[in-house]
Amino acid sequence: MKLKDEEIVNLFSKPQTVEKGLRAMMDAYQSRLYWHIRRLIVDHDGAQDVLQDAFIKAYQNIHQFKSDSKLYTWLYRIATNEALQALNKMNRMKKTDEDAEYHMQNLVADNAGQDAEEIQVFLQKAIQTLPEKQKLVFNMRYYDDLPYEEISKILDMSVGTLKTNYHYAKDKVEQYIKDNYSQEF
Protein backbone atom coordinates (compact mmCIF):
# COMPACT_ATOMS: atom_id res chain seq x y z
CA MET A 1 0.00 0.00 0.00
CA LYS A 2 1.40 3.32 -1.02
CA LEU A 3 1.51 5.87 1.76
CA LYS A 4 0.86 9.55 1.33
CA ASP A 5 3.62 12.07 1.91
CA GLU A 6 2.06 13.20 5.18
CA GLU A 7 1.93 9.66 6.51
CA ILE A 8 5.53 9.03 5.55
CA VAL A 9 6.68 12.17 7.35
CA ASN A 10 4.64 11.25 10.43
CA LEU A 11 6.45 7.91 10.63
CA PHE A 12 9.70 9.79 11.24
CA SER A 13 8.29 11.41 14.38
CA LYS A 14 8.46 8.18 16.42
CA PRO A 15 11.73 6.26 16.89
CA GLN A 16 9.94 2.93 16.53
CA THR A 17 8.62 3.79 13.08
CA VAL A 18 11.60 5.70 11.69
CA GLU A 19 12.89 2.77 9.65
CA LYS A 20 9.41 2.12 8.29
CA GLY A 21 9.12 5.76 7.27
CA LEU A 22 12.50 5.70 5.57
CA ARG A 23 11.64 2.59 3.64
CA ALA A 24 8.28 4.04 2.63
CA MET A 25 9.97 7.21 1.40
CA MET A 26 12.48 5.23 -0.65
CA ASP A 27 9.80 2.92 -2.07
CA ALA A 28 7.77 5.90 -3.16
CA TYR A 29 10.50 7.99 -4.80
CA GLN A 30 13.61 5.91 -5.45
CA SER A 31 12.82 5.17 -9.07
CA ARG A 32 11.94 8.74 -10.06
CA LEU A 33 14.94 10.13 -8.20
CA TYR A 34 17.24 7.51 -9.66
CA TRP A 35 16.35 8.46 -13.23
CA HIS A 36 16.57 12.15 -12.45
CA ILE A 37 20.07 11.62 -11.08
CA ARG A 38 21.04 9.15 -13.79
CA ARG A 39 20.27 11.64 -16.56
CA LEU A 40 22.57 14.14 -14.88
CA ILE A 41 25.38 11.82 -13.82
CA VAL A 42 24.92 9.32 -16.72
CA ASP A 43 27.06 6.66 -15.00
CA HIS A 44 25.03 4.03 -13.10
CA ASP A 45 27.42 3.58 -10.18
CA GLY A 46 27.73 7.29 -9.74
CA ALA A 47 23.97 7.63 -9.78
CA GLN A 48 23.67 4.93 -7.12
CA ASP A 49 26.07 6.74 -4.81
CA VAL A 50 24.26 10.03 -5.29
CA LEU A 51 20.87 8.44 -4.69
CA GLN A 52 22.06 6.86 -1.46
CA ASP A 53 23.56 10.14 -0.28
CA ALA A 54 20.35 11.94 -1.15
CA PHE A 55 18.24 9.61 0.97
CA ILE A 56 20.71 9.77 3.84
CA LYS A 57 20.58 13.57 3.70
CA ALA A 58 16.80 13.45 3.57
CA TYR A 59 16.72 11.20 6.63
CA GLN A 60 19.13 13.41 8.56
CA ASN A 61 17.19 16.58 7.74
CA ILE A 62 13.64 15.31 7.80
CA HIS A 63 12.94 17.55 10.81
CA GLN A 64 13.59 20.54 8.53
CA PHE A 65 10.95 19.46 6.04
CA LYS A 66 7.99 21.82 6.01
CA SER A 67 4.64 20.24 5.42
CA ASP A 68 3.45 23.12 3.24
CA SER A 69 5.59 21.76 0.36
CA LYS A 70 5.40 18.34 -1.25
CA LEU A 71 7.82 15.66 -0.13
CA TYR A 72 8.94 14.77 -3.62
CA THR A 73 9.70 18.44 -4.35
CA TRP A 74 11.93 18.51 -1.28
CA LEU A 75 13.56 15.21 -2.25
CA TYR A 76 14.15 16.43 -5.80
CA ARG A 77 15.90 19.47 -4.42
CA ILE A 78 18.20 17.34 -2.26
CA ALA A 79 18.89 14.91 -5.11
CA THR A 80 19.63 17.75 -7.54
CA ASN A 81 22.08 19.35 -5.13
CA GLU A 82 23.82 16.05 -4.51
CA ALA A 83 24.05 15.35 -8.23
CA LEU A 84 25.49 18.78 -9.02
CA GLN A 85 28.04 18.39 -6.24
CA ALA A 86 29.04 15.00 -7.62
CA LEU A 87 29.40 16.44 -11.13
CA ASN A 88 31.61 19.26 -9.88
CA LYS A 89 33.70 16.75 -7.99
CA MET A 90 34.04 14.59 -11.10
CA ASN A 91 35.17 17.58 -13.16
CA ARG A 92 37.74 18.54 -10.55
CA MET A 93 39.12 15.02 -10.34
CA LYS A 94 39.32 14.57 -14.09
CA LYS A 95 43.03 14.30 -14.85
CA THR A 96 42.88 14.84 -18.60
CA ASP A 97 42.28 18.18 -20.27
CA GLU A 98 39.34 16.66 -22.06
CA ASP A 99 36.36 18.99 -22.44
CA ALA A 100 33.67 18.23 -19.85
CA GLU A 101 30.91 18.34 -22.46
CA TYR A 102 32.80 15.96 -24.74
CA HIS A 103 33.50 13.67 -21.79
CA MET A 104 29.80 13.50 -20.87
CA GLN A 105 28.81 12.75 -24.45
CA ASN A 106 31.25 9.85 -24.54
CA LEU A 107 29.83 8.68 -21.23
CA VAL A 108 26.32 8.70 -22.76
CA ALA A 109 27.50 6.56 -25.66
CA ASP A 110 29.26 4.14 -23.31
CA ASN A 111 26.26 3.77 -20.98
CA ALA A 112 23.57 3.49 -23.63
CA GLY A 113 21.89 0.14 -23.81
CA GLN A 114 22.28 -2.09 -26.84
CA ASP A 115 18.61 -1.81 -27.62
CA ALA A 116 18.53 1.98 -27.21
CA GLU A 117 17.22 4.08 -30.09
CA GLU A 118 19.84 6.23 -31.80
CA ILE A 119 17.65 9.29 -31.57
CA GLN A 120 17.43 8.82 -27.81
CA VAL A 121 21.20 8.64 -27.60
CA PHE A 122 21.48 11.81 -29.67
CA LEU A 123 18.91 13.48 -27.49
CA GLN A 124 20.95 12.66 -24.40
CA LYS A 125 24.15 13.85 -26.05
CA ALA A 126 22.38 17.07 -26.99
CA ILE A 127 21.24 17.57 -23.38
CA GLN A 128 24.88 17.29 -22.27
CA THR A 129 25.69 20.36 -24.37
CA LEU A 130 23.25 22.52 -22.38
CA PRO A 131 24.23 24.85 -19.55
CA GLU A 132 23.57 23.46 -16.09
CA LYS A 133 20.31 25.30 -15.37
CA GLN A 134 18.84 24.61 -18.80
CA LYS A 135 19.80 20.97 -18.43
CA LEU A 136 17.96 20.72 -15.11
CA VAL A 137 14.86 22.49 -16.35
CA PHE A 138 14.74 20.47 -19.54
CA ASN A 139 15.10 17.12 -17.74
CA MET A 140 12.46 17.91 -15.15
CA ARG A 141 10.02 19.25 -17.66
CA TYR A 142 10.64 16.90 -20.57
CA TYR A 143 11.25 13.57 -18.81
CA ASP A 144 9.62 13.96 -15.38
CA ASP A 145 6.81 16.11 -16.66
CA LEU A 146 6.91 18.27 -13.57
CA PRO A 147 4.77 21.41 -13.63
CA TYR A 148 6.66 24.72 -13.80
CA GLU A 149 5.41 25.65 -10.33
CA GLU A 150 7.06 22.59 -8.81
CA ILE A 151 10.28 23.09 -10.75
CA SER A 152 10.22 26.68 -9.53
CA LYS A 153 10.21 25.44 -5.92
CA ILE A 154 12.96 22.92 -6.55
CA LEU A 155 15.34 25.26 -8.37
CA ASP A 156 14.35 28.56 -6.74
CA MET A 157 13.66 30.12 -10.13
CA SER A 158 10.63 32.01 -11.37
CA VAL A 159 8.18 30.28 -13.65
CA GLY A 160 8.89 32.81 -16.41
CA THR A 161 12.61 32.17 -16.25
CA LEU A 162 11.96 28.44 -16.31
CA LYS A 163 9.80 28.71 -19.41
CA THR A 164 12.43 30.80 -21.18
CA ASN A 165 15.14 28.34 -20.17
CA TYR A 166 13.09 25.40 -21.37
CA HIS A 167 12.39 27.12 -24.67
CA TYR A 168 16.09 27.82 -25.28
CA ALA A 169 17.06 24.33 -24.20
CA LYS A 170 14.54 22.72 -26.53
CA ASP A 171 15.77 24.79 -29.48
CA LYS A 172 19.40 23.87 -28.79
CA VAL A 173 18.62 20.19 -28.44
CA GLU A 174 16.64 20.10 -31.66
CA GLN A 175 19.35 21.97 -33.49
CA TYR A 176 22.03 19.58 -32.17
CA ILE A 177 20.03 16.56 -33.27
CA LYS A 178 19.34 18.13 -36.63
CA ASP A 179 23.04 18.85 -37.19
CA ASN A 180 24.42 15.55 -35.99
CA TYR A 181 21.66 13.06 -36.67
CA SER A 182 21.55 14.01 -40.34
CA GLN A 183 25.33 13.55 -40.62
CA GLU A 184 25.03 9.99 -39.33
CA PHE A 185 22.22 8.98 -41.58
Partner 1 sequence: MQIDIEKLNRKTPYPEPSEDFFKQMQANVISQTVGQNPMAAKEETKVFSLDFKWMGAAAVILIGGITAFLGFDNTSETQNFASQKPIVDSVYNINEPALPSSSEQLTNNEVTEEHHTDVVIKRNIKNHHIASSKANVSDVKSFNNTDRQVYAVETKRKPEAEVEKVLVAFTPDQLKDLDRNSEQDVYLDLYN
Q: Which residues bind partner 1 (CB under 8 A)?
A: 15, 18-19, 22-23, 26, 30-31, 34-35, 38-39, 42, 44, 48, 51-52, 55-56, 59-60, 108, 111-113, 116-117, 119-121, 123-124, 142-143, 170, 173-174, 177-178, 181-182
Nearest distance, CB of residue 134 and partner 1, angstroms: 14
CA distance 139 to 33: 12
User: Which long-range contacts does 162-169 make (Cβ < 8 Å, 24+ apart)?
Assistant: 162/137, 165/133, 165/134, 165/137, 165/138, 166/134, 166/137, 166/138, 166/141, 166/142, 168/134, 169/127, 169/130, 169/134, 169/135, 169/137, 169/138
Nearest distance, CB of residue 156 and partner 1, angstroms: 25
CA distance 142 to 140: 6
Which 3 state secondary structure label does DSSP give 156? Answer: coil
Give 42 or 154: the residue with its C-beta nearer to partner 1: 42
Give 22 or 71: the residue with its C-beta nearer to partner 1: 22
CA distance 132 to 148: 17
Give 96 or 182: the residue with its C-beta nearer to partner 1: 182
Nearest distance, CB of residue 175 and partner 1, angstroms: 8
Give 61 or 67: the residue with its C-beta nearer to partner 1: 61
Nearest distance, CB of residue 103 and partner 1, angstroms: 17
